Amino acid sequence: MSAQEVKRTGIPCPYPREWYLIAYPAKFNLINFTPFDGNGSPTQHLIYFKSHLGMISGNEALMVRSFVGTLRGPAFDWYRRLKPGSINNWDDMESSFLGSFFDDDDEVSIGTLFDEK
């Protein structure tokens, strides 16, 4: 896909359209695992995702593009509602994702309970 074709797609995209032009390495294949649908732990999903990146680890464009493919149902709907230009790096994606889903995997300690008073 050329830069002009990317600009003409008309599909809203939260990350830079130029990222579409970055090719995946030859033979790259993200391991197939259970997609995140808004239930369960978003933190656990991110950890699992990042542990399977292999040769694209550190390439923010490919990380973000691959991450989108691990979302289903309400989680994918969340992604579709992201504003164009709102994701400029992996940290933006991770922060937005974690801020949008309740993490039922958090440990609650006595200290945490006292802090909530």
Residue 13 in domain: no
Residue 73 in domain: yes
Quickly state the pLDDT bin for 32 (edges 50, 70, 90). confident
The vertex-35 CA angle with 49 and 45, nearest 5°, equals 40
How many independent structural domains does the chain possess? 1
CA 55 to CA 95: how far, in whole Å?
23
Residue 54 in domain: yes
The vertex-21 CA angle with 16 and 97, nearest 5°, equals 40
Full residue range of the structural domain in which residue 41 is found: 37-105
Q: Residue type at 85?
A: G
Residue 17 in domain: no
- At 64, list the tokens: 């973000």
CA dist 39 → 9, 35, 42, 71 (Å): 31, 10, 8, 11
Taking the model in full, what pTM does it have? 0.79
Residue 9 in domain: no
Q: Residue type at 37?
A: D
Neighbouring C-beta atoms of residue 111, cutoff 10 Å = 8
Q: What is the pLDDT of residues 41-74, one digit of tens each?
A: 999 999 999 998 988 999 999 999 999 999 999 9
